[in-house]
Amino acid sequence: MAGVSIQNVEKAFGGVRVIHGIDIEIADGAFVVLVGPSGCGKSTLLRIIAGLEDVTSGAIMIGDTEVNDMAPKDRDIAMVFQNYGLYPHMTVAQNMGFALKLAGVNKAEIAKRVGNAADILNLDALLDRFPRQLSGGQRQRVAMGRAIVRNPQVFLFDEPLSNLDAKLRVQMRAEIKQLHQRLKVTTVYVTHDQIEAMTMADVIVVMHDGVVKQAGSPLDLYDTPANLFVAGFIGSPA
Ligand code: ADP
Ligand code: MG
């Protein structure tokens, strides 16, 4: 497995800087939550790690490898999106195996990995269903299954639970944490929800307007917020 190192990363869109020199060290196997208000640059940073956006300056390392010039598919990363991105005309099993098929993995190996992921995610009974025949939570599990089958070094989640109702959100938080405890894959998880960050993170990174305001354990941030923004955002008395 591998950690992720974000080194003095800046990003501008058409001359407008939205990420201002961010440094974050993510330890191998850690569950790190990027949290901050809408528009602060969370998704952009995640997309930079995934290779879906290039950096304006700075570097991204995955393990010992600088990946700046590496295509997304070569980065050994799997990303789970808010809208799941499932293919409506494919079954659950086909959705989970599709990226492997594209990568030229043989049928027997695809079946093995899909079966293993289905087992972990409790999807065994749903493998022949289509996305429209699934609940929101089940769709979310399939999206995670698609990530797991690739055996990535790093999982990236961009607000994966924001389309779910409150009760299901709480349940899925626990499922994602259990998955992490089982697979120990380095995870970067983006949310704008403080409670989600506090309950899920090993390390929370609080962002605001394209900078990191503070990084630390949930307890650190709660007990000793570095500034009023963090105190207000995390909800502790300033
Ligand atoms: P968050 O995920 O924290 O809500 P984003 O990373 O999506 O924030 O956006 C950060 C800032 O970058 C916002 O001001 C947004 O409008 C801007 N932005 C994001 N993507 C693009 C893009 N492709 N072109 C221009 N501006 C963008
Ligand atoms: Mg976003």
Query: Could you tell me the two tokens for 231?
Result: 């105190």
Note the pLDDT tens digit of each residue in 164-213: 888 888 988 998 999 999 999 999 999 999 999 999 999 999 999 999 99
Q: Ligand 1 centre and the CA of 8: distance in Å?
A: 18
pLDDT tier for residue 234 given thresholds of 50, 70 and 90: confident
Q: H helices of the chain, where?
A: 42-50, 92-102, 107-121, 136-148, 166-183, 194-200, 218-223, 228-234
Residue type, 50: A
pLDDT above 70 coverage of the chain, percent? 98
Note the pLDDT tens digit of each residue in 8-59: 999 999 999 999 999 999 999 999 999 999 999 999 999 999 999 999 999 9
Q: Which residues have their alpha-adjacent CB atom under 5 A from ion ligand 2?
A: 43
Ligand 1 atom with minimal separation from the 40 CA: 3
Owner of token pair 């709660």: 222
* Angle, CA of 51, 179 and 224, to the nearest 5°: 80
What is the model's pLDDT at position 86? 92
pLDDT tier for residue 84 given thresholds of 50, 70 and 90: confident
Identify the residue whose C-alpha is closest to ligand 1 atom 24: 13
Q: Tell me if 162 CB under 6 Å of ligand 1.
A: no
pLDDT tier for residue 238 given thresholds of 50, 70 and 90: very low
Three-state SS at 161: coil
